[in-house]
Amino acid sequence: MKFLFSIIALVLFNKECDSAETSQLSNESNSAAVVEKLQDDNLSITYTTQTRGFYEAITVSKSSLRISKDRNEKNAKLYDCSAEDWEHIKRLLSDLEIQNISQLIAPTDKRYSDGALIATVLVSKDKKDIKTQDFDHGHPPKEIEALVNKVLSIKENAIKQ
């Protein structure tokens, strides 16, 4: 009986700690403090566009930009990500409620009839992934539009070098 009570207590305390961390992060109103929390090396943003015959994944992390044109991501090209670009990405992320990006609604639906590439944004931090619903490339939900445009801008600048 003591063993069962101990297991239940551990599970409850663990859930309380998780919910306290989540509420502390979501209640954080100071964007500078949120940016500090996002400085971890385990943070990355992946913007994926695809259709039947096309695939591209752009992954931005603290020090690198990875562009892959194949679904297996074996032949990816690596570029450097500047500190200024990374800071801008973190500022854009701090303005978002990251835990809610999976609930964003796409403003257009051309992807259903091959009128646009299918796009998604994936935010990965400490092995936790939060992914948006599919949306049309070129027409992201307005909440993440600045983030998507910055990722695409970083990609274009890296390719030009």
Locate the domains of the chain by residue range.
1-30, 38-160
Question: Where does the pLDDT of residue 5 fall: very low under 50, low under 70, confident under 90, or very high at 90 and above?
Answer: low
| Mean pLDDT computed over 66-75 | 91
pLDDT for residue 6: 59
pLDDT for residue 114: 86
Question: Where does the pLDDT of residue 42 fall: very low under 50, low under 70, confident under 90, or very high at 90 and above?
Answer: confident
Instruction: Please state which CATH number belongs to domain 38-160.
Output: 3.30.1560
127 or 14: which carries more pLDDT confidence? 127
pLDDT for residue 30: 38
pLDDT for residue 74: 86
What DSSP string describes 57-106? EEEEESSEEEEE-STT--S-EEEE--HHHHHHHHHHHHTS-GGGGGGPPP
Phi and psi at residue 20, to the nearest 5°: -65, -40
For residue range 86-110, what is the model confidence (pLDDT) as tens digits?
A: 999 999 999 999 999 999 999 999 9
Residue 38 has pLDDT above 90, yes or no: no
Phi and psi at residue 128, to the nearest 5°: -110, 130
Q: Which string of b and e fits 10-48 if b means at least 16 CB within 10 Å? A: eeeeeeeeeeeeeeeeeeeeeeeebeeebeeeebbbbbb
pLDDT for residue 103: 95
* Statement: the pTM of the whole predicted model exceeds 0.85: no
| Mean pLDDT computed over 135-143 | 96
34 or 156: which carries more pLDDT confidence? 156
